[in-house]
Structure 1
C-alpha cells in the first residue's frame, strides 16, 4: 500500500520540445493518494503536453515519472493503462454505435469460456453486461438502466458517465480527466462532478484538467498551476481564493514561497 506521504504519481523535470517550441520546460507534478488534483493554466501553458506525458501519449525528451515510488517509462497509452493509469479525454473516445457494455470493455473484451472463446472467439456479452451494470451501480450512475443500450442514444452527460465508468473499472492507480464538463450543461456537469467525487471516495486519486474555475474549486483538494511549461504553484484549495488562483495562473501575481 502506498504511504499517504508518498505521491502515487510524480513527475520531475519533464521537458518536451517541438523544434523551437518548448511545450514542457522542466515541469513537476505530485499526485497524492486519495486526492483530486486540479491542473489549471492558460492556453499554451503545457497542460496538454503534461497530461499526454503522464498518460503515455507522448514521450518526454527528458525528466522522470514515478508511479508508487518506482520509475516508469510509457511508450504508449497502452503502457500507461497496463500500469493502472486511465485517461478520460475531452473527446470522450466512445464508440457511439456500440452498446454501453461494449464501450466499457472496448479493447478488453471478455470471451466465452472453453472452445467457444479460445477457438471461435465468441464474446461473453452477458458477463460484460453484468459487470457493466455492477460498475455503473457502484459509481451511483442511476440514469443509465440498460447496459445493452447504444451509446449514441445517450445524452452528453451519460456518455461522459460511460467514459468515467470505463476508467474507474480498469484504472487501478490513477484516473486522469481532461475537461470532463466542457461540453455539458449545468445539470449534467453536476452529475459528472458528483461522479468525480465518488471515484475519489472509492480510493482512486484523480487528476482533473479544467478551465472551469468554479468546478475546480468545488471538487479539487489541491490546485497545480501550470505556466510557461512549468509548475508555477501548488495551492491548497481551502486556503486560496479563486481570484488569486487566476492571478497566479495569468502572471498577474506571484505565488507565496510556500506555494511553489
Structure 2
C-alpha cells in the first residue's frame, strides 16, 4: 500500500469501519486478543480464519451484541461506541447472519420491513413498503423473485439470502456484514449471491464477507483479513496474494510471502497463550 509523500495531504476518505486492537474475554477465555480490521467503502473485505479464530465474536462485537473489552472502533473516521444492536443499526451497520431471521409465513415485503414497518395512522402503509421494497430489489438487480408478495416459505435458499441482504441495505446502510452467505447454497445460487455481494460494494457500501470458501473469497473480495487464534495474522490485497498464502496464514498465523496491508495502528503483541476449553479446543 502506497503512503502519501511526506508533507502531502492524505486525501483518501477514512475507512467506513475500523477496529484497532479489539479484545474480548469471556471469563478466562481470550476470544479476541488484538484484532485489527479495516473495511472501506466500495470494497469487499473477506474475514477468514479457522474454527475458533474469533470471526463470530468479532462480528458480534461490531454489531453491538458483545462489548469490546479493549481496543478502538472508528466509524467513517470518527471514534464510535457501539453499545447495542440498535445503535449499530442507527449508525448504518447491518449484519446478515447465517439463520437469516426470516419469517416463512410472511411475504417478502413484510420480511424486509419486519420490526420497522411503515405506518399511515394506525394502519400499515402497504403501498409505500411495497414500493420501497421493489426499488431496493431493482437497485440490486434482483430478478430471480417472481413477486415481492410471495411468501418466503416458497423461496429457494439463494432467494432467501437475497431477501435478507436486501433488507440489510434498505435502511441507508454504510457497512454490511455477511456471515457465510453461501454456506448452504448450490453452485448456481452461490454465483447469484456472489454477484449481489459484488454489486453491494460497487454501489459504494463497505462489505465484510465472512467465509470459509476460498473460491468465493478470491472471486469477490478486494481485501482478505485473516484471523488466527483471536488475533489478526494479516490483511492482504487479494490481487497480491494467493490461495496457498492465505491458507498458510489461516493454519499457522504467518506467511513468508504474503504482502501484508497495514490495517491500523499496530496493537501491542499479546503475550498470553490462547485459552482452551476442557477438551483442549480453542474457543472464539
Q: What is the TM-score normalised by the length of structure 1?
A: 0.93
- Runs of 4+ aligned residues of structure 1 deviating over 6 Å after TM superposition are none
8 Å CA contact 1:86–1:171 kept in 2: the answer is no
**Pairwise CA distance, 1:253:** 4.7
User: Which residue matches 2:89?
Assistant: 81
User: Which residue matches 2:200?
Assistant: 199
**Pairwise CA distance, 1:131:** 1.2
1:29 and 2:37 correspond: yes
User: Which residue matches 2:51?
Assistant: 43
- Which whole-Å deviations, capped at 9, do the CAs of 1:180-215 have from their partners, x for residues lacking one? 000111010000000001111111110000000000
8 Å CA contact 2:42–2:205 kept in 1: the answer is yes
User: Which residue matches 1:140?
Assistant: 141
Stretches of structure 1 that go unaligned for 5 or more consecutive residues are none
Q: Name which of 20, 24, 28 aligns with 1:16.
A: 24
8 Å CA contact 1:25–1:229 kept in 2: the answer is yes
Larger proportion of helix: 1
1:158 and 2:153 correspond: no
SS of aligned partner of 2:170: helix
SS of aligned partner of 1:16: strand
Separation (CA, whole Å) in 2 of partners of 1:163 and 1:68: 24
User: Which residue matches 1:175?
Assistant: 176
8 Å CA contact 2:241–2:258 kept in 1: the answer is no
Separation (CA, whole Å) in 2 of partners of 1:126 and 1:254: 55
**Pairwise CA distance, 1:254:** 2.5
Which has the higher relative contact order, 1 or 2, with Cα contacts under 8 A spaced 6 or more apart?
2
User: Which residue matches 2:126?
Assistant: 125
Stretches of structure 2 that go unaligned for 5 or more consecutive residues are 1-10, 262-284
8 Å CA contact 2:245–2:258 kept in 1: the answer is no
Separation (CA, whole Å) in 2 of partners of 1:4 and 1:170: 26
**Pairwise CA distance, 1:255:** 4.7
User: Which residue matches 2:225?
Assistant: 224
8 Å CA contact 1:39–1:210 kept in 2: the answer is yes
Q: Supply the RMSD in Å over aligned alpha carbons.
A: 1.4
**Pairwise CA distance, 1:172:** 2.4
Separation (CA, whole Å) in 2 of partners of 1:171 and 1:242: 34
